[in-house]
Copies of this chain bind each other. A is one copy, B any other.
């Protein structure tokens, strides 16, 4: 593979007064500044809910007009809550095709345009129809998964609380994160029950925000070493095992094979923790721990050489503008690899990082491995 990320830009996550297009433009502008406003020849926009929540179609034209890149080509990409990762994937393919030299990938979501119940309903439209008809929502199915995981491996609720606390503690150092205050285990434990065993502070927040990256041909300190994505049966009822996401396992296998790297090479990982227990499942699915061993990372000590997890605060701390999160994970890894993560910077600076994104209820997952500065 021969593509690398040469710039990143953010529009802070949280409740924002700006429109979807303005948020996209804000993030894009920061990334374009970093490449000296050099012309781009392809604009890829990642977004999930524009049609259902923002009464906005033709989004790539809107963004292109707003940021004045009329000379470029464009694509809008959607893959539910992995839309940002999917857009990055499309941008990398475009560079690798040899047809485009400098691609701007922008991922944005504006969820507070509509009342939360409407947004939750739209999110549930990414589930299998048979489960939608049965009244399933994203947190309800996530609770089912979490319950089964806890039961199978004897995981105490305190472990999930610890995951949330770690996320919020890290987010304090990330100026683009929605949550800027840490929480105590007691606060997590006392937050209201959403769907047992998931309490409010185990769940990601409705959020607005945007992220942008520039992808160019060639190699650098943030080269795309491997990219993998995969599907799984959408209906949770059709899955053999609720305690693991097959789409993550397959995506990881593909990404590591393409990168020609092993799990021990990864020093930093940004994982999709839309619900606290998912972080544990992610760690196991990605091969960093054996099934059932990830809870130990939060109750005992982590194995020698294990990657730093979600230094950005993850989705629980950063906030979850759904279509933007997948690209935020990638941009956060890039900032770490290039030593520009500010107060979140991991020391020593990692040389290989992994970003992981979940689409829908883990029906379409993405793994991206970045690096290239290995000694």
Asked whether any CB of chain B lies closer than 8 Å to the CB of A117, the reply is no
User: A61 contacts B94, CB within 8 Å?
Assistant: no
**Which of A67-75, A269-277, A295-303, A332-340 is the contact stretch?**
A67-75
Of B52, B73, B234, the residue contacting A62 (CB under 8 A) is B234
A126→B123 CA distance, assembly (Å):
22
Asked whether any CB of chain B lies closer than 8 Å to the CB of A55, the reply is yes
Across-interface contacts of A363 in B (CB, < 8 A): 58, 61, 65
User: A93 contacts B97, CB within 8 Å?
Assistant: yes
Asked whether any CB of chain B lies closer than 8 Å to the CB of A183, the reply is no
User: A79 contacts B51, CB within 8 Å?
Assistant: no
Kindly state the interface size class of chain A when it binds its partner. Answer: 35 or more
Asked whether any CB of chain B lies closer than 8 Å to the CB of A211, the reply is no
Across-interface contacts of A213 in B (CB, < 8 A): none
User: A60 contacts B125, CB within 8 Å?
Assistant: no
Across-interface contacts of A56 in B (CB, < 8 A): 125
Across-interface contacts of A59 in B (CB, < 8 A): 78
Across-interface contacts of A96 in B (CB, < 8 A): 96-99
User: B79 contacts A58, CB within 8 Å?
Assistant: yes
A56→B89 CA distance, assembly (Å):
22
Given contacts A58-B80, A92-B97, 17 further A-B pairs with CB under 8 A are A57-B125, A58-B127, A61-B80, A61-B126, A61-B231, A61-B363, A61-B364, A62-B128, A65-B363, A70-B231, A73-B228, A74-B86, A75-B86, A76-B78, A93-B99, A96-B96, A97-B97
Q: Which 3 A-B pairs have the closest CB atoms?
A: A51-B51, A58-B126, A96-B97
